[in-house]
Chain A
């Protein structure tokens, strides 16, 4: 049994939140830069150039790349052999509180969805905990903007609708969302499970490394097909028209009920912020 104090968790969350909001990483910015060359629309190219310039300013000046510094989603893989001294959820919230104050990030959380009073410290975070073997804590932290989250959805399809139904849902969602979710997008698709499981695996999907290939050959093929079709929608960077609507499609699946085909689509804007650390 390894004992980890809550302050250690707070420090790690704080570090990840400060980093995630300002630095997309050079490989992601390079990917956007490549898309300037392949984009067919002149306006689309101009938009991608502004995004790349913006992301470089943010990285070099340690400024948030977007004013919507998001709701913090925190995925924790907690080793069975870890004893936490203190409160895990409060440790995460304290890390968020300190990072959003020190980083001059926007506080975007209201205490109640109907009275809309701001909590003024960007807490609470939404923390998902999964128990895993070992004595470590792995934290993946993702500040998620409102624009792309608002255009995301869960739909309970019928099994008969199958792959064609899923494709249709994805294409309609992205076409009618237009510029609102801030394309170019990372599209996370959760298929199966139930209502909440599909949403959760869709969110996990957008956090996967863009270079990481889907180990399932059927899903890998489906990801490539859907990405190709999304980029034929014409939506383009920020919805101003063009051929770069999505950068990647990531699919996760889960066993489900014989009557159901749950499908969740979680859209991630071009400020694809997430960082991982291990304690």
Chain B
């Protein structure tokens, strides 16, 4: 499935766990420190660095770009560390989160309630994923270096739907298919 950002409910409804999706358009980066700062801003009634309505956030801290390239290697980081910060951002309209690895049951419950989805890119495929980024600019928290918020223009960025709004869970479903040993 090919989708364009921003992403609203009609697209979210079409996404099912296990679907391979190619995203084009604007997405925003953010990881540990940027999330902490954004949630602090909300707690202090200050504005967020961008309008979250229908937006996509990608958990990544890229390597610096070589000259002539928009970005360096940019694979996903582990998403569970952003679990404590996800709820207030989804309440502001965040619809899609891209990262890697499992997330907490509390997160999944809240994500379904907010009609958002969680997608994974392939961890460690940073050089390959950098080819899908056309443009990159830092729009907030520049002092955080690799953890600054970048606005990216991507084309056919490959991800897989991991948790959908119907309770579909790629990780549980697929792992159980191949699990042949008792723990």
Q: What interface size band does chain A fall in?
A: 35 or more
Q: How far is the CA of A70 from the CA of B79 in the complex (A)?
A: 18
Chain B 111-134 interface mask (CB, 8 Å, partner A; 1/0): 000000000101111111111000
Chain B 133-157 interface mask (CB, 8 Å, partner A; 1/0): 0000000000011100000000000
Q: Which of B18, B100, B127, B179 contacts A54 (CB 8 A)?
A: B127
Asked if B127 contacts A64 (CB within 8 A), the reply is yes
Q: Which of A40, A118, A150, A180 contacts B145 (CB 8 A)?
A: A118
Closest to A244 in B: B178
Contacts of A232 in B (CB 8 A): 179-181
Closest to A150 in B: B78
B5 on the A face (CB < 8 A): no
Contacts of B30 in A (CB 8 A): none
Contacts of A168 in B (CB 8 A): 183
Closest to B144 in A: A118
B160 on the A face (CB < 8 A): yes
Identify which of residues 230-245 in chain A touch chain B, using a CB-to-CB cut-off of 8 Å. 232-236, 238-243
Chain B 14-39 interface mask (CB, 8 Å, partner A; 1/0): 00001010000000000001000000
Q: How far is the CA of A172 from the CA of B128 in the complex (A)?
A: 31
Decide: A178 near B174, CB < 8 A? Known: A66-B126, A232-B181, A269-B123.
Answer: no
A71 on the B face (CB < 8 A): no
Shortest Cβ gap from A202 to chain B (Å): 21
Shortest Cβ gap from A142 to chain B (Å): 15
B64 on the A face (CB < 8 A): yes
A274 on the B face (CB < 8 A): no
Shortest Cβ gap from B107 to chain A (Å): 14
Asked if B174 contacts A51 (CB within 8 A), the reply is no
Q: Which of A50, A238, A242 contacts B158 (CB 8 A)?
A: A50
Contacts of B129 in A (CB 8 A): 54
Closest to A40 in B: B178
Closest to B100 in A: A179
Q: How far is the CA of A47 from the CA of B158 in the complex (A)?
A: 11
**Residue of A106, A232, A242 most packed against chain B (CB within 10 A):** A106
Asked if B75 contacts A178 (CB within 8 A), the reply is no
Asked if B178 contacts A68 (CB within 8 A), the reply is no
Contacts of A63 in B (CB 8 A): 66, 72-73, 127, 130
Decide: A236 near B174, CB < 8 A? Known: A68-B77, A179-B123, A270-B124.
Answer: yes
Shortest Cβ gap from A252 to chain B (Å): 25
Contacts of B175 in A (CB 8 A): 178, 233-236, 239, 241
Closest to B65 in A: A104
Asked if A64 contacts B171 (CB within 8 A), the reply is no
Asked if A241 contacts B174 (CB within 8 A), the reply is yes
Chain A 155-185 interface mask (CB, 8 Å, partner B; 1/0): 0000000000000100110010011101000
Closest to A230 in B: B181
Contacts of B124 in A (CB 8 A): 51, 54, 65-66, 145, 182, 238, 269-271
Contacts of B18 in A (CB 8 A): 43
Asked if A66 contacts B181 (CB within 8 A), the reply is no
Shortest Cβ gap from A243 to chain B (Å): 6
B80 on the A face (CB < 8 A): yes
Stretch of B41-49, B55-63, B88-96 contacting A (4+ beta carbons < 8 Å) = B55-63
Asked if B64 contacts A65 (CB within 8 A), the reply is no
Asked if B183 contacts A50 (CB within 8 A), the reply is no
Q: How far is the CA of A270 from the CA of B146 in the complex (A)?
A: 22
Asked if B101 contacts A180 (CB within 8 A), the reply is yes
Asked if B125 contacts A50 (CB within 8 A), the reply is yes
Q: How far is the CA of A178 from the CA of B179 in the complex (A)?
A: 12
Shortest Cβ gap from B59 to chain A (Å): 11
A37 on the B face (CB < 8 A): no
Asked if A240 contacts B146 (CB within 8 A), the reply is no
Supplied contacts A40-B178, A54-B124, 7 more A-B pairs, CB within 8 Å: A65-B127, A67-B72, A106-B72, A106-B146, A233-B183, A234-B177, A271-B124
- 30 A–B contacts, CB within 8 A, in A order: A43-B174, A51-B124, A58-B73, A63-B130, A66-B73, A66-B123, A66-B126, A67-B62, A67-B63, A67-B72, A67-B73, A67-B74, A104-B65, A105-B64, A106-B61, A106-B62, A106-B73, A106-B146, A147-B123, A171-B183, A172-B183, A175-B183, A232-B179, A234-B174, A236-B174, A239-B102, A239-B171, A240-B120, A241-B175, A270-B124
